[in-house]
């Protein structure tokens, strides 16, 4: 069986298209999958729940044991609900106590302000005052001190009681939060132990990510193995509107995610499927020196070569040249990259990049006709914790990412674009090209964000063509060009 982490085989793609012809329109998008089994039939599944249900006619059942789940999960949900009720009941009491403490502090603040104003007035009146007037002013000062003592004496017991009450409520809330966390983890572990594969052990020592085991692919493989069916080919696709992150498109095929599914599918398919493709095992071309001096080096990186060593290979720009990469290019991206030969130069160049004093230009062919001729894309990005190295748009937690773009050419249903990134986030240009709120047109050959499967020998048509900056030591303006090969 071909790896589920690569492009879907034709037989699985055909089965998926057959399923798509029968799927209704969805108001909320979802990942679906098909598994072709020996004999030519195929199974279908969806990720998570569909219309609030785990079991839907025509789709395989979840990978967990439903009867075992039913034996404890309702009681677990009821226990967690009782804890939630107790937590909710604390909040108005905590708010009432906090309000009382606030009123007491406000009264004390008002007294302090009044005394401060009177003290400033007395200070002004002491200038040129006689003995009798000074005595009267001293009496006023002692009167203020006495008023403060009376206030403190009158409110001390109440203030201490409120502070003690607040501590008790905070402690009770902390106890309930900890209890809910412990009981939730207890029931979750019990549920995870009912799956048709050792879910917790596969992710140990870490906890399984949320939703692990409920994706379409693990459901399909687990079901097939339970029923003595032989898996032959798998395909997964998104159906419906894109998710809030915008990184899935209607009807597009996607490989199984690595964050949630790699350990599970590797376990289930150990003797059945090809190993998952390791991207770093491509055969890269040769580095080409563009320019160097005693401090810096500029080279042209080929497709398939890492900028820095990876988990599965040491081969990279850094290890080949013995210098330190200042900024990185994706494995799939070719073009200009700068290296520093010493720590002082590296630190200076990092500051230059951080201040956005480097001008970069990339050339790309996009897989479609881009709307408009130029503009700026502003979509914050962060890593997808469940599917690295994928990046997703996140307006709340993402880091700022800005890209200026301009159309250079339109031909045969594709668009040649010049990108000028103003920030340097991972996969920035690839996401900004593919995202519905970006150009909504992925870069040709993009195996992560592209709308079409990538064939053997295809490359990502993205090239870092020009680079300009001021030399950190000489102050000279440097500009380099490496014309796009496509």
For 73-105, write each residue's pLDDT tens digit.
999 999 999 999 999 999 999 999 999 999 999
Mean pLDDT score, 236-253: 88
pLDDT surpassing 60 at residue 279: no
pLDDT for residue 280 is more than 50: no
Backbone dihedral angles phi then psi of residue 128, each to the nearest 5 degrees = 75, 5
Concerning whether 330 is annotated as a catalytic residue, the answer is yes
Looking at residue 453, its pLDDT comes to: 47
pLDDT of 380 above 60: yes
pLDDT at residue 296 in the model = 98
pLDDT at residue 451, rounded to an integer:
63
- Catalytic residue, from 330, 367, 384, 387: name it: 330
CATH superfamily of domain region 280-481? Pseudouridine synthase (3.30.2350.10)
Residue 396 has pLDDT above 80, yes or no: yes
Cα gap 457→282, rounded to integer Å? 10
Q: How confident is the model at residue 447 (pLDDT cuts 50, 70, 90)?
A: confident
Main-chain dihedrals φ then ψ at residue 144, nearest 5 degrees = -65, -40
Average pLDDT over residues 155-178: 93
Instruction: State yes or no: pLDDT of 456 exceeds 70.
Output: no
Q: Kindly state the tokens that stand for 169.
A: 């409520």
Task: Determine the pLDDT at residue 411.
Answer: 95
Residue 57 structure tokens: 């006619």
> Per mean pLDDT, which of 223-227, 239-243, 455-459 is the most reliable?
223-227
* pLDDT at position 283 over 70: no
Q: Is residue 84 within 8 Å of 91, Cβ to Cβ?
A: no
- Which has the minimum average pLDDT: 44-58, 212-226, 264-278, 402-416? 264-278
Asked if 170 contacts 186 with a C-beta cutoff of 8 angstroms, the reply is no
Inter-residue contact 463 to 333 (CB < 8 Å) = yes
User: Per CATH, is 10-64+195-277 categorized as 3.90.220?
Assistant: no
Q: Which residues, at least 6 apart from 23, have a Cβ–Cβ distance to it below 8 Å?
A: 32, 239
> Using alpha carbons only, what angle is made at residue 470 by residues 465 and 471, rounded to the nearest 5 degrees?
105
Q: What value does the mean pLDDT of the chain take?
A: 92
d(CA 426, CA 10): 32
138-149 residue pLDDT tens:
999 999 999 999
């Amino acid at each position: 069986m071909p790896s589920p982490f690569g492009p879907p085989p034709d037989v699985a793609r055909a089965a998926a298209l057959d399923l798509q012809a029968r799927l209704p329109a969805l108001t909320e998008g979802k990942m679906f999958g098909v598994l072709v089994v020996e004999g030519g039939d195929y199974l279908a599944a969806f990720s998570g729940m569909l219309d609030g249900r785990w079991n839907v006619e025509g789709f395989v059942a979840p990978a967990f044991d439903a009867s075992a789940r039913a034996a404890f999960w309702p009681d677990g949900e009821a226990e967690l609900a009782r804890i939630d009720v107790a937590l909710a009941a604390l909040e108005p009491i905590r708010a009432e106590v906090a309000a009382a403490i606030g009123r007491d502090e406000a009264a004390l603040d008002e007294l302090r302000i009044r005394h401060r104003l009177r003290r400033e007035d007395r200070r002004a009146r002491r200038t040129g005052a006689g003995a009798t007037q000074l005595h009267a002013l001293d009496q006023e000062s002692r009167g203020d001190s006495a008023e403060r003592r009376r206030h403190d004496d009158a409110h001390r017991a109440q203030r201490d009681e409120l502070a003690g009450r607040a501590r008790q409520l905070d402690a009770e809330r902390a106890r309930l939060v900890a209890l809910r966390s412990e009981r939730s983890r207890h029931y979750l572990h019990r549920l995870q132990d009912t799956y048709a594969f050792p879910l917790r052990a596969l992710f140990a020592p870490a906890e399984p990510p949320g939703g692990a085991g409920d994706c379409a692919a693990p459901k399909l493989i687990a079901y097939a193995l339970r029923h003595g069916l032989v898996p032959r080919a798998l395909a997964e696709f998104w159906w419906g509107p894109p998710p809030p992150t915008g990184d899935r498109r209607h009807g597009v095929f996607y490989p199984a995610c690595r964050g949630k599914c790699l350990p599970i599918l590797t376990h289930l398919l150990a003797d059945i499927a090809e190993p998952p493709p390791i991207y770093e095992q491509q055969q890269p071309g040769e580095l080409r020196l563009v320019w160097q001096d005693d401090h810096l080096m500029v080279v042209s990186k080929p497709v398939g070569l890492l900028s820095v060593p990876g988990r599965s290979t040491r081969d990279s720009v850094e290890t080949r040249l013995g210098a330190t990469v200042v900024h990185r290019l994706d494995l799939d991206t070719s073009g200009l990259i700068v290296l520093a030969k010493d720590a002082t130069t590296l630190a200076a160049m990092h500051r230059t990049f951080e201040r956005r004093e480097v001008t970069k230009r990339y050339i790309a062919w996009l897989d479609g006709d881009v709307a408009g001729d130029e503009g700026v894309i502003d979509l914050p990005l962060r890593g997808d914790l469940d599917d690295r190295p994928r990046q997703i748009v996140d307006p709340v937690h993402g880091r700022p990412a800005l890209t200026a773009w301009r159309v250079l050419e339109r031909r045969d249903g594709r668009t040649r674009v010049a990108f000028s990134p103003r920030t340097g986030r991972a996969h920035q240009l690839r996401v900004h090209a593919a995202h519905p709120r970006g150009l909504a047109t992925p870069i040709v050959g993009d195996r992560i964000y592209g709308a079409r499967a990538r064939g053997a020998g295809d490359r990502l048509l993205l090239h870092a063509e020009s680079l300009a900056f001021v030399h950190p030591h000489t102050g000279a303006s440097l500009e380099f060009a490496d014309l796009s090969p496509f």
